[in-house]
Amino acid sequence: MVRSYFHLHLVSDSTGETLINVGRAAAAQYEGVSAIEHVYPLVRSSAQLERVINEIEQAPGIVLYTLVGQDLTERLEEACRATSSPALSVLEPVHRLLQSYLGAHSTARPGAQHMLNAEYFKRIDAMNFTLAHDDGNLPVDLNEADVILLGVSRTSKTPTAIYLANRGLKTANIPLVPGMPPPPVLEALRKPLVVGLIASPERIVQIRQNRLLSLKADESSPYVDRDAVANEIASSRRLFTKHRWPVIDVTRRSIEETAAAIVDLHREHRMKFIAV
């Protein structure tokens, strides 16, 4: 398949994360087409905007932006018309819907979603907890966790935990090692949601082989033996079933999809305590 490319300019008066996520999610729907991203964060002055416009003039394409200043918005749209670059204020349709429903007008505050409020510090606290409780570390205070991830090696426990921490969930992850029981404290926990992660033996073997290659280690160990890996996974399944812990198969899931499923499970888990 011949792949085509287009320039995608993302102009933000904040970090640009919203635009990056929206742009990539939309572009991913077009097979055989890839975006050449130009990201311009923290554009809050005319001088900064003019440098952005210069780059758009050099490589015209689609322009997505989140600018709250009316003068900057008008100047950018004017430049986009001059270069025949379609432009869209990504948040404007959402603002119009909210204004219509709420009967109120928004206050122009660049980067308002990133203010140092209680939610921000909650995410920082969650990240600190998660990093300190990676790979089975500090099991003594697991009851402070919101989520505990269990799984054999290479089931994406760490990246999933970090993603959940960024959502404000204190997440510990514990590896299941052949011949070693999980921490006994797990059986007495009530507050945290314990989730088991599994994957197909083929997928686990592939990831482990790549890991050994990067470390230039011996590839003949049981660590990458298909039957040994299948036994590990079967053993982890029995453990999860015994304790009635929910299980997520990550074989064909992205980190984001796995995390979204866990967030949903955590919401249901919290409701059990609210209902009591």
Give the residues across from 34 on adjacent strands: 5
Query: Residue 75, CB half-sphere, CA atoms under 13 Å: how many?
Result: 19
**What contacts 153, CB < 8 A, 6 or more positions away?**
175, 177, 204, 208, 223
The annotated binding site is made up of 151-158
The annotated binding site for ADP is made up of 151-158
User: To 5 degrees, how large is the angle CA 158–CA 161–CA 166?
Assistant: 130
Query: Residue 48, CB half-sphere, CA atoms under 13 Å: how many?
Result: 15
The secondary structure of residue 196, as a DSSP letter, is E
Give the residues across from 149 on adjacent strands: 173, 195
Measure Cα distances from 263 to 59, 147, 199, 248, 270 in Å. Answer: 40, 9, 19, 12, 11
Which tokens go with 37? 């991203």
CB-based burial label for 38 (10 Å; 0-12, 13-18, 19+):
middle
